[in-house]
Amino acid sequence: MNEDWNLITRTIIPIVSQPSAGPGLASMSGLGDINPSIFLSPASSRHHFWGFGPTFTFPTGTAPQLTSGQWSLGPSAVYLATPGSWMIGVVANQQWSVGGWSDRSVNSTYIQPLVIYHLTKGWYLASVPVITANWEAESGNRWTVPVGGGAGKIVKLGKLPLNLQLQAFYNVERPDAAPSGNCASRYYSFS
């Protein structure tokens, strides 16, 4: 924005492939709800940075099972430190529904801690779980807390860096109907 402040955007566009949740239930594939966040952050930081701003969710899911059916918004924060070969931080937000066509209200917390250790030749070890709380659910079914991690490698496609990673997680806390674990593979580019 200027010499003192950066405007950082982070947008999650989920492409979902959800297997059948039980006998007689169809599997689902498609686009989930899009979630952009905007952070205002001081420009002077070199080895750590922080930012605050709004986050939004747009009900763009292509199937009823892939969308909340609600427009949502709330506050979001990020902190990141880079001591030596480490990258340690957290992204967190809280959202509430403000309208939509679904009768399901949104009151949810999102916390994504990240711990990354950089190795050599573009390789790294990572644990970047997504912890969530659905405050509309019954007590005992609100939190999803995964534990795990994996590895990744940054490769170049011409001049464009491409980040490839694979992580596996076990949900130590989860709603009754949620899976006990998952595998998260991410492929994204950055400049």
Kindly report, residue by residue over 156-182, the tens digit of the pLDDT: 888 888 889 999 999 999 888 776 666
Residue pair 110/130 in contact by the 8 Å Cβ criterion = yes
How many CB atoms sit inside 10 A of residue 27's CB? 10
pLDDT at 184: 58
Whole-number average pLDDT of the chain:
89
Q: Is residue 136 part of a domain?
A: no
pLDDT at 155: 92
Q: What is the pTM of this model?
A: 0.86
Share of the chain above pLDDT 90, in %: 67
Most confident of 26-30, 73-77, 159-163, 168-172: 73-77
Q: Is residue 6 part of a domain?
A: yes
pLDDT at 185: 52
- CA nearest 34: which of 62, 18, 65, 12? 12
Q: Is residue 95 part of a domain?
A: yes
Q: Is residue 40 part of a domain?
A: yes
pLDDT at 183: 57
Mean pLDDT of 100-112: 93
Mean pLDDT of 105-132: 95
Q: What's the total number of domains in the chain?
A: 1
Mean pLDDT of 119-141: 94
- CA nearest 165: which of 178, 177, 148? 148
Q: Is residue 62 part of a domain?
A: yes
Domain extent, residue 95, equals 1-17+28-118
- CA nearest 142: which of 134, 151, 153? 134
Whole-angstrom distance, CA of residue 134 vs CA of residue 150: 26
Residue 73 has pLDDT above 90, yes or no: yes
Backbone angles phi, psi at 107, to 5 degrees: -150, 90
pLDDT at 43: 87
pLDDT at 191: 37
Q: Is residue 155 part of a domain?
A: no
Q: Is residue 158 part of a domain?
A: no
Mean pLDDT of 92-118: 95
